[in-house]
Chains A and B, each alone.
Chain A
Amino acid sequence: MNNSITHRSVVIKSLFGVVVMFMFAIFVLPPLYDLFCEITGIGGKTGDVYTATEITVDTSREVEVQFIATNNATMPWDFYPVEHKVMVHPGESKEIVFYARNRTGADMVGQAIPNVLPNNAADYFLKTECFCFNNQPLAAGEEADLAVVFIIDPDLPASVNTVTLSYTIFDITDRVPMQVSQVQ
């Protein structure tokens, strides 16, 4: 029948639209969202490993960098910054340390997720070394000093005088069981 042929065309086009929108939701929206956050700096996400180059240190300016540590949900570790704030000149490389101790009787793996406030400072907070780039396996009762080496980009907007770096530590033991066995 002629009718069924015309219906077939409508149905195929509609189903095509359905599949496209489903793919759009799963494979396009999340990367698009990350890209948007990266461009605008909202979400406070910092970049990946920064390879240090020659930057002139701007000694005329001093920025206060504050550190915050938070445990997500039921994460039982002790986790805090050894120094709560430092003063740095933009362009100067600085190392600070976070202390972590697994005070449970079980081997665990933690993952720290960084966030920088204010939003417009996120792109100027450069980390040459950070424990947040890897997950952190700690055996039962083990403690560790976790280092971050960072540089504040001299292009940091003039309106920003204080930058806050916060880490939330998550318990990801269930996701990476192999890592725990490596500890032992």
Chain B
Amino acid sequence: MAHGPSENFFSRWLFSTNHKDIGTLYLWFSFAMFLLGGAFAMVIRAELFQPGMQLIKPEFFNQMTTMHGLVMVFGAIMPAFVGLANWMIPMMIGAPDMALPRMNNLSFWILPFAFAILVSTLFMEGGGPNFGWTFYAPLSTTYAPDTVNYFIFGVHIMGASSIMGSINIIATVMNMRAPGMTYMKMPLFVWTWVITAFLLVAVMPVLAGAVTMMLMDINFGTSFFDAAGGGDPVLFQHVFWFFGHPEVYIIILPAFGVVSQIIPTFSRKPLFGYSSMVYATASIAFLSFIVWAHHMFTVGMPIAGELYFMYATMLIAVPTGVKVFNWVTTMYKGALTFETPMLFSIAFVILFTFGGFTGMMLSIAAADTQYHDTYFVVAHFHYVMVAGAVFSGTAAVYYWLPKWCGRMYDETMGKLQFWIAFIAFNITFMPQHFLGLAGMPRRYSDYGLQFADWNMVSSIGAFMYGGAQLLFLYNVIRTIGWGKPIDDPQVWEGAEGLEWTLPTPAPFHTFSTPPIVK
């Protein structure tokens, strides 16, 4: 290779245009945000351990739920998958780097500033955002703390970062595939990310529009969402969920891609129904644009609207079901082994399906009137966000870490982490279904005595789950520093794809000459 990374620590990481270094930065940043958002969750669960006010004030509790959601969605999950995309997409399609390396550097380095701005509000007079991560107007406009402007600015920067990252991915995949790498030969992780990137380009500007309208309402006397001036607060919900529903698929589609890489490897069989997976992903992406109002069944929609959004939502179960059956069929009669990435992937398939079913329950407009804004919703989206996105992200790190750093992680510790995480996750969120069905509303710092037992169980599970993440951190650091060195390019016996033809650990520059794909 011509040259390696800069010797100077600061110039290597601050000025890097290398896709692997930037991928690494994204992954570490997202893990730091994951621990921060997790710390907020621990505060929430500690307060809810017993009924009554124990540790914090209700105002601070509201800031914790809001910041937990914002940090986890925009700071932990999304950057984690952008980091994986940076590392893996060039290696999977035989490209030397991302298409636009300098923009890549910029799109990462504005993120820490966005979150510094957002988190700094917690230390300001009036406190941080306290209106829930969905920041419904007028809570986030008329009644918001003054720091809401910092929140708006932070969201704008995050949006800019995501848009640049996704344009980069689109340009890379469209222009830089190795000769012979047709679209229908691309690994599924690349496919899901391209579709995700298109979703991001389409909806992040809508989010930027929503917060801009908030900014105008708060500071410049417009009345987009203010009934006093002829505006309508319900409009905010429509605009927000027009962004928000595609957003949940932005989070989960790359997770689908990761699992579609891992399950064939440890089943030692090619992925069942590759082309149907591609079409299912595209269908989910399309449907995500036309179902947003199922988050708003209780705002007072005409019955025709409720019926339309209900049936359209249920339709999403069809392509999603195609995917689940394809994963299961890939495993069927395969020579299965259960290394840590595979365990996380299987848990993903099971628990994500579970979360999908509760989603079906919520899609029934008549029933949703009861479930709306209860812990049932909280349980539902944590099954798809945590057991979906976070489990698959963890699986991805265990799966590709040996390729990245040339050292093997500790399998026993990985499995231990998996079982603690799996059990603790279910202890945390399974009881929240019962709490929600019994009528416990979300986003309150206190609850009726009848909810006490399951809340205590849920809190105990949450603390265990938090502990499992520290084990994960330790295992990753231990692997990078002191793991058993390996040099087999293949790493995993059944792994297929261009990234496994490269030496282990992956050199700083790869595919300077494009490989020929047959």
- A residues with CB within 8 A of B: 3, 6-7, 10-11, 14-15, 17-22, 24-26, 29-30, 33-34, 37, 40, 42-43, 72-73, 111, 113, 119, 168, 170-172, 175
Closest to A168 in B: B227
Q: Is the CB of A10 within 8 A of B203?
A: no
Residues A18 and B201 in contact in the complex (CB < 8 Å), given A26-B209, A33-B235, A40-B302: yes
Residues A26 and B203 in contact in the complex (CB < 8 Å), given A42-B301, A111-B228: no
B232 contacts the other chain (CB 8 A): yes
Residues of A within 8 A of B202 (CB): 17, 21
Closest to A120 in B: B302
Closest to B203 in A: A21
Measured between C-beta atoms, what is the minimum distance from B1 to chain A in Å? Answer: 20
Q: Is the CB of A22 within 8 A of B229?
A: no
The A interface, classified by DSSP as helix, strand, loop or mixed, is helix
Question: Considering the chains assembled together, what is the distance between the CA atoms of A2 and B32 in angstroms?
Answer: 39
B157-189, CB < 8 A from A? 163, 166-167, 170-171, 174-176
Closest to B243 in A: A25
- B residues with CB within 8 A of A: 99-100, 142, 163, 166-167, 170-171, 174-176, 201-206, 208-210, 212-213, 221, 224, 227-232, 234-235, 238-239, 242, 300-302
Question: Considering the chains assembled together, what is the distance between the CA atoms of A3 and B98 in angstroms?
Answer: 12
Closest to A6 in B: B175
Residues of A within 8 A of B210 (CB): 25
Q: Is the CB of A10 within 8 A of B230?
A: no
Q: Is the CB of B206 within 8 A of A24?
A: yes
Nearest 8 pairs of A and B residues by beta carbon: A25-B209, A170-B228, A22-B205, A21-B205, A25-B206, A10-B171, A14-B167, A26-B209
In addition to A22-B205, A24-B206, 13 A-B residue pairs with Cβ atoms within 8 Å of each other are A6-B175, A14-B167, A14-B171, A18-B204, A21-B206, A25-B208, A25-B239, A25-B242, A26-B213, A30-B235, A72-B228, A119-B302, A175-B229
Question: Considering the chains assembled together, what is the distance between the CA atoms of A41 and B99 in angstroms?
Answer: 50
Question: Considering the chains assembled together, what is the distance between the CA atoms of A62 and B206 in angstroms?
Answer: 47
Question: Considering the chains assembled together, what is the distance between the CA atoms of A111 and B176 in angstroms?
Answer: 59
Q: Is the CB of B232 within 8 A of A43?
A: yes
Closest to A119 in B: B302
Closest to A16 in B: B201
Measured between C-beta atoms, what is the minimum distance from A128 to chain B in Å? Answer: 20
Q: Is the CB of A11 within 8 A of B167?
A: yes
Question: Considering the chains assembled together, what is the distance between the CA atoms of A65 and B273 in angstroms?
Answer: 62
Q: Is the CB of B242 within 8 A of A19?
A: no
Determine which residue in A10, A113, A168, A175 has the highest number of CB atoms from chain B within 10 A of its CB, and name it: A10
Residues of B within 8 A of A7 (CB): 99-100, 171, 175
28 A-B contacts (beta carbon < 8 Å): A6-B175, A10-B167, A11-B167, A14-B166, A14-B167, A14-B170, A14-B171, A15-B167, A18-B204, A21-B201, A25-B205, A25-B206, A25-B208, A25-B239, A26-B212, A26-B213, A29-B206, A30-B213, A30-B224, A30-B239, A33-B235, A37-B232, A42-B300, A43-B234, A72-B227, A73-B142, A119-B302, A168-B227
Tell which of A15, A29, A34, A113 touches B242, judged by Cβ atoms closer than 8 Å.
A29
Measured between C-beta atoms, what is the minimum distance from B57 to chain A in Å? Answer: 22
Determine which residue in A37, A40, A111, A113 has the highest number of CB atoms from chain B within 10 A of its CB, and name it: A113
